[in-house]
Amino acid sequence: MPGAWNLSDRVVLVTGAGKGLGRGAALRLAAAGAQVLLVARTGADLDAAVTEIEAAGGAATALVADVTDEGAVEAAVRRAEELGDLRGCVCAAGTNIVGPAVDYRLDDWDAPRTAAFVREAAVAYGERGLGV
């Protein structure tokens, strides 16, 4: 699928970017030309992801932050805006709950975490006159 996306001159913020789905999304977005802001709690994982992206010719910046902290969410969105034209957020930060999803309680899901990023991104887009 090379060339399917052209995200040159765009910034995308990715949470949970140190491992798993978040890291995979960050690698693909960077390969498509996006400047990726990688956000996770573990600096070593972020550093490894940045190294991998840069080795492939992409651009990435790491930000160690805990997305359960609303202030950290706001700071991450502001940092992404400082990097350039913020156009997307991938909310891939997860939990350490183990077991079948059907057994999760409603409050086990990451809806508040995702909602905080969506809200902050919407504010950032709105301030630039972009739709959400």
Instruction: Quote the CA–CA distance of 92 and 50 in Å, as a whole number.
Output: 17
Q: Find the CATH number of the domain harbouring 41.
A: 3.40.50.720
Q: Is residue 5 part of a domain?
A: no
pLDDT of residue 1: 43
Q: Name the pTM for this structure.
A: 0.78
**What is the span of the domain harbouring residue 80?**
11-127
pLDDT of residue 103: 72
Tokens matching residue 31: 């390969």
Instruction: Quote the CA–CA distance of 113 and 65 in Å, as a whole number.
Output: 12
Q: What distance, in Å, lies between the first and last C-alpha atoms of the chain?
A: 26
Provide the number of structural domains found in the chain: 1
Using 50 as the pLDDT threshold, list the residues of the chain that sit under it: 1
